[in-house]
């Protein structure tokens, strides 16, 4: 093997005093060779991004390198001055960030932003820069590049913006490309396209790519070699094949096993008795208020949606962003009011209820929210947060608080009722959210992306908890997710949504193994690491 | 405990707090140290400071004790500052909360009403109100409160608008909590820190407003206040500098200390912002 492009030796980065551990990364060594993609994998807080930040000279304030070296082209990057670093950045080392939304200047045309990269390094004349920008946009496969070059970032979709970011990173043909979770914020189908693009560009330019991700599916899709990190240390380093198929370390094995969807859903189809929830011809249109000079805009979030949910069943609603799946969930719990259609929960039509009547019926449908950090009031003790529902419905305070204790016990968090939410981790908060949803003994629970914000191993635990509760309490669940792998793990039946319509519904097994709609097939094909999963199943 | 530690980290805030406590002590001790009315003529007029025992700050044009006036005035200034701020909060917080929580037409109506007050210059409106109602402590407090609630309503409205779509608020709605419970129990506690900070600054503004009103002769004729002392002494400022100087310093220190404390509260209540500012 040739000399490595980037060689990290014994890198140790100290965190400021008062952090939860003394070192962000400790004694980390790995190489990135030309023409390979090294995936650095780990859960949040594993320090996987920190090493990349050290390479770019972009360490956050308070984090210092206390040992080791980062060798690039014969120089130790840790000892460079800010000015020397700036010369390397962009020119020799390119970087792609996670959030394409915020990494571009919203007030600058795409062409000008790409041109800026050349300008920063005093390359080319202005007309040449624009010509080169256009070539780059063509290379990264943006549709209608002549138009895109004059577009502002808000006129592009997330995937297109990420392509612009890649074009900027590639502008000066760097030897090393660092990609920090570049596809995490994207839909699966877009993610698949971007992964393909990165792999393709890497082959054509013979670049070294350091790809940071939390997703083993992505690793399976793209990696040449893999470096697994945990709590600032490397737990495993090897070729993608070895690590994925013969993981040596327990932690790696646990991570790979925790990936949902490495198994085909079993058939759990129940004969539909009387439906618990019957949704028919639901419509919801969002209108943006038109101003004096702009026309009002209409978005059909729900377009003639009908389905039934049987008692004790878990129904998955799967779709990409903008498919209307969250609006559907919010209509079912009546945080939104559908424009037309009916929502019948064991005989009572919820869609037309208003005011006090609606408030009384609310306890029958509860929701588990997506963001465990936003869904608990920071100033309310968790026991109280759970007890509030029963209290609002007339249960005595003491009794409600006692019941909250029992519920916390049920979700695996005993004796913590008088703590505040900030004392809990994301996974624990999500357990509290589940306890809160259970407190009113609802007939139906809507889980809106309930595990999307969590690390895979935590995700697996929460899914396990839901599964367990489902059996013990015979819950009925409407499970909304963008992640087909998650849906496969917990759902009995699945609805696939696109642009506000249901394109396919059926038992989980049928949808996975014998998809009927073209869109479903597209979604399934886009799941990263799918071939691997099927091969090993 | 953590809160106090964070507050104490800001040295300015600590100094402000010390000054403020001193002024409060001054106000409380005034009737003990100077049991006589500050309006009583007790010595010859224009006695300079430190010339005679018992008159450390001298006497004014009518032979009244300046030190006594200063201490009794502290009581009036603080009282008017605190009460008018409380009244302003009592108007502004509910209006802002309702406008921000319900939005739509209610919001439009309440905000037009608020703007109506904002379009009239504060001080001019306060003068008109006091003049109509006859100068007294009550009318001054009311006038100051009526001109200073709009910023409170605006702030509370903005906070409510950003908080009302938080997931925990939606969760509260889902479990069947009523609007009033949600406003009082879920959202309001989370808007407290900016309100507290604003309130501490409003006390300072109210003290300045009261001084300005008294300076113009619109103060309560029965209570001694710093603004009145400066106003009465302005014609003799070249012969007797101390008559306007000491009350002026008192106003400056009080307002400064309240501003420092307000900033310290801001830092202590929003530790994240404070860290970024460093």
Task: Provide the shortest C-alpha distance from residue A429 to chain B (in Å).
Answer: 12
What is the pLDDT at residue B277?
Answer: 53
With a cut of 90, say whether residue A432 has pLDDT above it.
Answer: yes
What's the mean pLDDT when you consider all of chain A? 85
What is the pLDDT at residue B165?
Answer: 87
Task: Provide the shortest C-alpha distance from residue A17 to chain B (in Å).
Answer: 14
Segment A71-107, tens digit of pLDDT = 888 888 888 888 888 888 888 888 888 777 778 888 8
Q: Do B172 and A333 touch (CB under 8 A)?
A: no
Delimit the domains of chain B by residue range: 70-277
What is the pLDDT at residue B127?
Answer: 93
Task: Provide the shortest C-alpha distance from residue B264 to chain A (in Å).
Answer: 21
With a cut of 60, say whether residue A284 has pLDDT above it.
Answer: yes
From edge to edge, which strands make up the β-sheet containing A340-345?
A: A297-309, A277-288, A340-345, A348-349
Q: Taking Cα atoms as reference points, which of B209, B244, B265 lies closest to residue B16?
A: B265
Q: Do B178 and A379 touch (CB under 8 A)?
A: no
What is the pLDDT at residue A537?
Answer: 42
**Which residue in chain A is spatially nearest to B190 when comparing CA positions?**
A379
Determine the CATH number of domain B70-277: 1.10.3720.10
**Which residue in chain B is spatially nearest to A440 when comparing CA positions?**
B175
Predicted confidence band of residue A273 (pLDDT cuts 50, 70, 90): low
Residues of A in contact with B177 (CB under 8 A): 388-389, 392
Residues of B in contact with A440 (CB under 8 A): 175-176
What is residue A480's three-state secondary structure?
Answer: strand
Residues of B in contact with A374 (CB under 8 A): 166-168
Task: Provide the shortest C-alpha distance from residue A378 to chain B (in Å).
Answer: 8
What is the pLDDT at residue A269?
Answer: 53
Q: Which of A392, A404, A426, A437 to mutate to test the interface with B (most CBs of B within 10 A)?
A: A392
Task: Provide the shortest C-alpha distance from residue B164 to chain A (in Å).
Answer: 12
Q: Do A370 and B167 touch (CB under 8 A)?
A: yes
Predicted confidence band of residue B84 (pLDDT cuts 50, 70, 90): very high
Global pTM? 0.80
Phi then psi for A310, rounded to 5 degrees?
A: -85, 155
What is the pLDDT at residue A228?
Answer: 92
With a cut of 70, say whether residue B148 has pLDDT above it.
Answer: yes
Closest partner residue to A335 (CB to CB) among B170, B178, B189 is B170
Predicted confidence band of residue A317 (pLDDT cuts 50, 70, 90): very high
Q: Which has more pLDDT, A271 or A400?
A: A400
Average pLDDT, integer, range A495-504: 91
Segment A457-491, tens digit of pLDDT = 888 889 889 988 888 888 899 999 988 888 888 88
What is the value of ipTM here, to two decimals? 0.77
Delimit the domains of chain A by residue range: 94-171, 277-288+299-373+444-536
With a cut of 70, say whether residue B278 has pLDDT above it.
Answer: no
Segment B201-256, tens digit of pLDDT = 899 899 889 989 988 888 888 888 898 888 888 888 888 899 989 999 999 999 99
Average pLDDT, integer, range A322-346: 89
Q: Do B257 and B77 contact (CB within 8 A), yes or no?
A: no
Rg for chain B, CA atoms, rounded? 22
Total CB pairs under 8 A between chain A and B: 65
Q: What is the C-alpha separation between A434 and A447, in angstroms, rounded?
A: 9
Predicted confidence band of residue A391 (pLDDT cuts 50, 70, 90): very high
What is the pLDDT at residue A430?
Answer: 92
Segment B100-127, tens digit of pLDDT = 999 999 999 999 999 999 999 989 999 9
- Interface residues of chain A, partner chain B, Cβ below 8 Å: 333, 335, 359-360, 362-363, 365-367, 369-371, 374-380, 385, 388-389, 392-393, 433, 436, 439-440
Predicted confidence band of residue A492 (pLDDT cuts 50, 70, 90): confident
Determine the CATH number of domain A277-288+299-373+444-536: 3.40.50.300
Residues of B in contact with A359 (CB under 8 A): 176, 178
Q: Which has more pLDDT, B23 or A257?
A: B23
Rg for chain A, CA atoms, rounded? 25
Q: Do B167 and A377 touch (CB under 8 A)?
A: no
What percentage of residues in chain A have a pLDDT greater than 90?
20
Task: Provide the shortest C-alpha distance from residue A78 to chain B (in Å).
Answer: 25
What is residue A489's three-state secondary structure?
Answer: helix
Segment B12-52, tens digit of pLDDT = 899 999 999 999 999 999 889 888 888 888 888 888 888 88
Give how far Cα B206 sits from Cα of A343, A435, B72, B215, B270, Å.
55, 48, 18, 14, 25
Q: Do A451 and A491 contact (CB within 8 A), yes or no?
A: no
With a cut of 90, say whether residue B95 has pLDDT above it.
Answer: yes
Q: Do B167 and A360 touch (CB under 8 A)?
A: no
Closest partner residue to B177 (CB to CB) among A370, A378, A388 is A388
**Which residue in chain A is spatially nearest to B170 when comparing CA positions?**
A335
Task: Provide the shortest C-alpha distance from residue B92 to chain A (in Å).
Answer: 23
Residues of A in contact with B174 (CB under 8 A): 333, 335, 362, 365-367
Q: What is the C-alpha separation between A281 and B66, in angstroms, rounded?
A: 82
What's the mean pLDDT when you consider all of chain B? 89
Residues of B in contact with A388 (CB under 8 A): 172, 175, 177, 185
Residues of B in contact with A333 (CB under 8 A): 174
Segment A435-460, tens digit of pLDDT = 999 999 898 999 998 888 888 888 88
Sign of the Cα pseudo-torsion (A481, A482, A487, A490, in order): negative
Average pLDDT, integer, range B145-164: 94
What is the pLDDT at residue A142?
Answer: 86
Cβ neighbours, 10 Å, residue A269: 15
What is the pLDDT at residue A46?
Answer: 85
Segment A359-369, tens digit of pLDDT = 888 888 999 99
Closest partner residue to A375 (CB to CB) among B167, B175, B178 is B167
Residues of A in contact with B166 (CB under 8 A): 374
What percentage of residues in chain A have a pLDDT greater than 70?
93
Q: Do B190 and A439 touch (CB under 8 A)?
A: no
């Amino acid at each position: 093997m040739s000399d490595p492009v980037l060689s990290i030796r014994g890198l140790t980065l100290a965190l400021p005093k008062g952090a939860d551990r003394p070192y962000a990364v400790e004694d980390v060594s790995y190489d990135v060779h030309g023409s390979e993609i090294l995936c650095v994998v780990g859960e949040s807080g594993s320090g996987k991004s920190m090493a990349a930040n050290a390479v770019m000279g972009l360490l956050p304030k308070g984090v210092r390198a206390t040992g080791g070296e980062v060798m690039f082209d014969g120089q130790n990057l840790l000892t460079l001055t800010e000015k020397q670093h700036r010369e390397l950045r962009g020119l020799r080392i390119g970087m792609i960030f996670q959030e394409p939304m915020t990494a571009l200047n919203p007030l600058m045309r795409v062409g000008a932003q790409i041109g800026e990269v050349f300008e920063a390094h005093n390359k080319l004349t202005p007309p040449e820069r624009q010509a080169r920008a256009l070539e780059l946009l063509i290379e990264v496969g943006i549709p209608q590049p002549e138009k895109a070059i004059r577009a502002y970032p808000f006129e592009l979709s997330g995937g297109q913006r990420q392509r612009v970011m890649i074009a900027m990173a590639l502008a000066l043909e760097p030897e090393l490309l660092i990609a920090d979770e570049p596809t995490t914020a994207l839909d699966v189908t877009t993610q698949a396209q971007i992964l393909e693009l990165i792999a393709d560009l890497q082959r054509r330019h013979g670049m070294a790519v350091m790809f940071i991700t939390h997703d083993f599916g992505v690793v399976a899709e793209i990696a040449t070699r893999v470096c697994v990190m945990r709590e600032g240390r490397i737990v495993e380093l090897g070729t993608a094949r070895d690590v994925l198929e013969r993981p040596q370390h327990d932690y790696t094995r646990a991570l790979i096993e925790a990936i949902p969807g490495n198994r085909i859903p079993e058939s759990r189809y129940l004969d539909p008795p009387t439906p618990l929830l019957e949704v028919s011809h639901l419509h919801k249109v969002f209108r943006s208020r038109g101003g004096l000079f702009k026309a009002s805009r209409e978005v059909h979030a729900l377009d003639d949606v009908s389905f039934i949910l049987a008692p004790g069943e878990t129904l998955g609603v799967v779709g990409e962003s903008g498919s209307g799946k969250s609006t559907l969930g919010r209509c079912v719990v009546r945080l939104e009011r559908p424009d037309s259609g009916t929502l019948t929960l064991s005989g009572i039509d919820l869609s037309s209820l208003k005011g006090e009547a609606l408030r009384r019926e609310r306890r029958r449908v509860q929701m588990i929210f997506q963001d465990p950090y936003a869904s608990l009031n920071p100033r309310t003790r968790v026991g109280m947060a759970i007890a509030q529902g029963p209290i609002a419905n007339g249960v005595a305070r003491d009794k409600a608080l006692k019941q909250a204790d029992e519920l916390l016990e049920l979700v695996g968090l005993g004796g913590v009722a008088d703590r505040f939410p900030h004392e809990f981790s994301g996974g624990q908060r999500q357990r509290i959210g589940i306890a809160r949803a259970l407190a009113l003994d609802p007939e139906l629970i809507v889980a809106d992306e309930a595990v999307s914000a969590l690390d895979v191993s935590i995700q697996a635990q929460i899914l396990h908890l839901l599964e367990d509760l489902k059996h013990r309490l015979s819950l009925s669940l409407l499970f909304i997710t963008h992640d087909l792998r998650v849906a496969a793990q917990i759902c009995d039946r699945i609805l696939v949504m696109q642009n506000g319509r249901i394109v396919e519904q059926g038992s989980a097994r049928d949808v996975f193994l014998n998809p009927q709609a073209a869109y479903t097939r597209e979604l399934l094909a886009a799941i990263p690491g799918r071939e691997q999963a099927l091969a090993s199943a | 405990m953590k809160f106090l530690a964070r507050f104490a980290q800001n040295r300015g805030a600590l100094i402000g707090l010390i000054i403020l406590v001193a002024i409060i002590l001054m106000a409380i001790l005034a009737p003990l140290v100077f049991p006589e009315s500050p309006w009583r003529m007790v010595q010859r007029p224009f006695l300079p400071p430190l010339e005679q025992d018992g008159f450390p700050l001298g006497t004014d044009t009518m032979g009244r004790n300046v030190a006594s006036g200063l201490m009794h005035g502290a009581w009036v200034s603080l009282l008017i500052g605190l009460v008018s701020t409380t009244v302003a909060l009592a108007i502004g917080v509910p209006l802002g909360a309702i406008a921000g929580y319900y939005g739509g037409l209610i919001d439009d109506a309440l905000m037009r009403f608020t703007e109506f007050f904002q379009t009239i210059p504060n001080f001019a409106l306060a003068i008109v109100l006091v003049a109509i109602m006859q100068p007294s402590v009550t009318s001054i407090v009311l006038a100051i409160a009526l001109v200073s609630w709009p910023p409170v309503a605006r702030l509370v409205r903005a906070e409510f608008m950003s908080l009302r779509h938080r997931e925990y608020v939606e969760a509260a709605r889902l479990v069947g909590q009523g609007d009033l419970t949600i406003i009082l129990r879920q959202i309001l506690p989370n808007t407290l820190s900016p309100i507290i900070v604003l309130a501490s600054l409003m006390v300072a503004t109210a003290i300045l407003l009261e001084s300005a009103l008294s300076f113009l002769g619109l103060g309560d004729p029965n209570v001694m206040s710093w603004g009145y002392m400066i106003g009465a002494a302005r014609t003799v400022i070249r012969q007797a500098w101390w008559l306007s100087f000491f009350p002026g310093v008192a106003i400056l220190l009080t307002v400064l200390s309240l501003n420092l404390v307000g900033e310290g509260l801001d830092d202590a209540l929003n530790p994240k912002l404070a860290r970024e500012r460093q």
